[in-house]
Amino acid sequence: MSHAKLPASGSSRWLGCPASIKACEPYENTTSSASAYGTAAHALAERCLTDFSLPSKYHGIEIEGVMVDTEMVEGVEEYIDYVNQLDMFFDMTLIEERVDFSHIVPEGFGTADLVLINSDELHVVDLKFGRGIVHAENNSQLSLYALGALYAYGFMYEVKKIVLHIAQPRIGHFDRWETTPDELVAWSKWVSERANLALSANPPFEPSAKACQWCAHQANCSALAEHVNTVLTGDFDNPEALDGQVDKVSDEHIKRILDNMEMITSFLKAVEVVALERLQSGRVIPGYKIVESRKNKAWVDEEKASEALLKKLSKDDIYTQKLCTPTQALKLLGKIDTDLIDNLWSVPEGRPVLAPESDKRPSIGSVVDGFDNVK
């Protein structure tokens, strides 16, 4: 299978940091177990949408080298339910459709999980089986798919509205964002400029949280290391003089660190992974060594252990029970009999946590605000 040099799935990386494409070329492509699981889930969803079969039919069967388990079946079922609610209103349904956007990005193409088109609307749906939340708003991958579909089928329909969908059934996250063809076409001009910059002889490094998150080069990126150092040290000539006294750091400096915290954390984790790989290969990093992680005792055979313990102890002694959570209970009950527990659960007050102003949750104010009403 051929791969696009500037793939839609990695567009947040090369759009953010044009140099990342060439910088990542020496690195070997690896597939994680989570990635393989997601690939199998996509293949299962495609089969079921194509031949109208139930995901449960494939339970216990190997697809794309992965055994279909209960969680995959339930996730794909939720995805198909979501799709079916949309599909009844459309004239054209394209499953796992290869879309070409090479008129914007040189040799650009990708595979959209689902494209739906009618007289004046175009919808693109992307199934995500990971647990990290992905949003539909301004999603560059889906936007490129939409532009490719618009280029291929726009002459057949007078599309006035484009809707991008993210479906993440494993975490119950379904998101959608509406835009227009004119807005996406205007955005595509900037995309084209960034694509050409990424393919140029000396593309610039531009570290950012989005660009660096999945970049194979991040642990070895001097531009990222320099950026992290600048963010952390700020205006201090001798940061060591602070000696952990964070109260001496200005609000502006704290904001700058918080704005870059995701990228800094990702960079540090990537450095840790590379350090472990180098030590395992026999290289020496002064002051560090490889040790075994902390471990706990575990039963070799739980059934035999149970039989042995029951000779001296009771079942109440050796087994523990825990009531399922309200969320688990509602899922088990399904759409019926949920009134059984309607008055038996509540959502406790959450502890104060930091969040960017763009977060949709309402602000709970400051501790000082709480004293305003105290007389």
Q: What is the full per-residue pLDDT of the chain (375 aa) written as tens digits? A: 456 789 999 999 999 999 999 999 998 877 788 899 999 999 999 999 999 999 999 999 999 999 999 999 999 999 999 999 887 778 899 999 999 999 999 999 999 999 999 889 999 999 999 888 999 999 999 999 999 999 999 888 999 999 999 999 999 999 999 999 999 999 999 999 999 999 999 999 999 988 998 899 999 999 999 999 888 887 666 666 556 666 777 888 888 888 888 889 989 998 998 888 888 889 999 999 888 888 888 889 999 999 999 999 998 899 988 888 888 787 778 766 777 888 888 888 878 877 778 777 888 765 555 545 544
Closest CA to 41 of 17, 18, 66: 66
Give the ranges where the chain is alpha helix by DSSP (H): 11-16, 20-24, 33-51, 70-87, 140-153, 181-198, 209-213, 222-233, 251-259, 261-280, 302-309, 315-318, 326-333, 367-370
Query: Taking Cα atoms as reference points, which of 151, 153, 149, 175 lies closest to residue 164?
Result: 175
Q: Structure tokens of 196?
A: 């050409």
Query: pLDDT value at position 33?
Result: 86
Res 366: pLDDT: 58
- Report pLDDT for 375: 46
Calculate ∠ Cα 117-121-122, nearest 5°: 50
Look up residue 131 and give its two tokens: 């647990």
Q: Bridge-partner residues for 117, per DSSP? A: 92, 122
Alpha-carbon span 63 to 53, nearest angstrom: 15
Residue 163 near residue 123, CB atoms below 8 Å = yes
The confidence score (pLDDT) of residue 2 equals 56
The count of other CB atoms within 10 Å of the CB of residue 258 is 13
pLDDT of 240 reads: 64
Domain extents in the chain? 8-198, 209-280, 302-340
Residues counted in the chain? 375
Residue 24: predicted pLDDT? 93
Tell me the C-alpha distance between 114 and 49, whole Å.
Answer: 10
Query: Among candidates 226, 217, 233, which has minimal Cα distance to 270?
Result: 217
Instruction: Note the pLDDT of residue 237.
Output: 61
What's the one-letter identity of residue 22?
Answer: K
Exposure string for 76-92, b = 16+ CB within 10 A, e = fewer: bbbbbebbeebeeebee
**Residue 49 contacts residue 96 (beta carbons within 8 Å):** no
CATH of domain 8-198: 3.90.320
Question: Cα(166)–Cα(174) distance, rounded to whole angstroms?
Answer: 6
| pLDDT the model gives residue 242 | 59
